[in-house]
Amino acid sequence: MGIEKLTDKEEKQEKIVTMFDDIASTYDLANRVLSFGIDIQWRKKGCDKAFEILDKKELTQVTDVATGTGDLLIYWKEQAKKNGVKIDKYVGIDPSVGMLDVARKKVDFAEFIEGKAQKLPIEDESTDVISISYGIRNVVDRVEALQEFNRALKPHGIVIILEFTKQDRRGVVNKIVDFGMKKVLPRVGGLISKNYEAYKYLPDSIEEFLTTEMLAKELEEAGFEMKYIKSFSMGISTLLVAQKI
Summarised one tens digit per residue, pLDDT across range 42-101 is 999 999 999 999 999 999 999 999 999 999 999 999 999 999 999 999 999 999 999 999
Residues ≥6 apart with Cβ < 8 Å to 41: none
Feature table: binding site for S-adenosyl-L-methionine: 69, 94, 133
Bigger pLDDT: 1 vs 185: 185
The domain spans of the chain are 8-165+211-244
Looking at the DSSP bridge assignments, the partners of residue 163 are: 238
Q: Which of 31-35, 64-68, 140-144 has the lowest mean pLDDT?
A: 31-35
pLDDT digits (tens, 9 = 90+) for 2-20: 445 668 788 888 888 787 7
Provide CB contacts within 8 A for 238, sequence distance 6+: 162, 163, 164, 165, 212, 229, 230, 231, 232
| Model confidence at 225: pLDDT above 90 | yes
pLDDT value of residue 198: 64
At 145 the pLDDT is 97
Q: How high is the pLDDT of residue 178?
A: 58
CATH of segment(s) 8-165+211-244: 3.40.50.150
Contact 85, 56 (CB under 8 A): yes
Which pLDDT score, from 0 to 100, does residue 239 have? 96
What pLDDT score was predicted for residue 89? 98
Residue range 102-125: mean pLDDT, rounded: 97
C-alpha 6/C-alpha 104 separation (Å) is 30
Mean pLDDT of 121-145: 94
Q: What residues are designated binding site?
A: 69, 94, 133
Tell me the pTM. Answer: 0.82
